[in-house]
Amino acid sequence: MPYEIVTASLDVNDKSGRIDVWFGPDMKTIVVSRRALLSVASPPRATEFRLLQYVETFCQIAARRLASTSGNTILITANDVRGWLCAWQSSPAPVPIQAVRHRLHDAGSV
């Protein structure tokens, strides 16, 4: 289902994320638990940068759960992230991706 992200922010007190998203005509709030943020990548970090880095992933997880969720809030937990990671790692990549590495210049070697 197509979606449009409106806002994404981190609650610094409990280190959970909040993403407001339009799924078609419906506005939903995705709450990303601290453990979900810690589980999505290594090293584990519950930061705003990590939330923004994986905001599309959290929206995809939420989009899959729309049919089984009532109400306007969708909670993403560490179990949801682990399920997504297992599915992502077991599916073949549609197009081979090559990493491009650029050599960094030393500040002293100009």
| 110 residues of the chain, pLDDT tens digit each | 789 999 999 999 999 999 999 999 999 999 999 999 999 999 999 999 999 999 999 999 999 988 888 899 999 999 999 999 887 666 665 544 444 444 444 455 44
Domain spanning 3-90 has what CATH number?
3.30.160
8: closest CA among 54, 70, 46, 71?
54
Residues 6+ apart with CB under 8 A from 71: none
Domain regions of the chain by residue span = 3-90
Report the number of secondary-structure helices (H) and strands (E) in the chain. Answer: 4, 4
Spatial CB neighbours of 65, under 8 Å, sequence gap ≥ 6: 74, 80
For the entire predicted model, the pTM comes to: 0.78
Alpha helices (runs of H) in 1-110, residue ranges in sequence order = 34-39, 48-53, 55-65, 78-90
Q: Provide the CB-side half-sphere exposure for 26 (13 A, CA).
A: 15
